[in-house]
Amino acid sequence: MNGIDLKALGEARTAVAANRPEGITTYRLAMTWMGGVKMKAETTGMQIGSQKIDREFSWIVDEPNELLGEASAPTPQEFLMSGVGACIMVGFVVNAAAKGIELRSLKLNMSGSLDLAGFMNIGDDAQVKMQGLDYQIEVDCDGNESDLEEVAKAAVEFSPNAMTVKNGIPINGALKIIA
């Protein structure tokens, strides 16, 4: 249903419920500066419980010319928004499938804004963080409105990315100087 193997989903839920540590997933990235405000991001593997998974993907992050970039790739904020939006969409597809709702098309539009004065440390009143994210889900299917409202609510409430952005998490780091 919607490309989701419901049997495998049920088996995965049962396995995690029986052994919660096997549901802990760790993601890893390496970022390399390419000059200016351009960088390359590369996946360096992930782990689900005790299972290591090779991941070999890369992408470029850049800013538009107006923000000192080369306009060659999406901005960090656009990548953040796409991660939140994609996670909500995954939840929508899976929850729709679990309810037996077959999707014909699904689209999510998202917007968000930030105050550059915060990033540039201008004024005490300017916030560094984005002011919020707004989304709209457009769906074509045979599901009824009540079921679709439940699917949409679950898609957001159980989206790791959406809940991470909404509720915040600690960001820990260290500096390593290479001589």
- Quick check: is 177 in a domain? no
Domain interval for residue 26: 1-71
Q: How far apart are CA 69 and CA 94, in angstroms?
A: 38
Would the pTM of this model clear 0.95, i.e. be above it?
no
Whether residue 87 sits in one domain with residue 23: no
DSSP string, 76-123: HHHHHHHHHHHHHHHHHHHHHHHTTPPEEEEEEEEEE---HHHHTT-S
Q: What's the full length of the chain, in residues?
A: 179
The number of distinct structural domains making up the chain is 2
Residue 85 is part of a domain; what is its CATH number? 3.30.300.20
Distance between first and last Cα of the chain: 55
Whether residue 52 sits in one domain with residue 119: no
Whether residue 84 sits in one domain with residue 143: yes
pLDDT 10s digits, 96-144: 999 999 999 999 999 999 999 999 999 889 899 999 999 999 999 999 9
- Quick check: is 179 in a domain? no
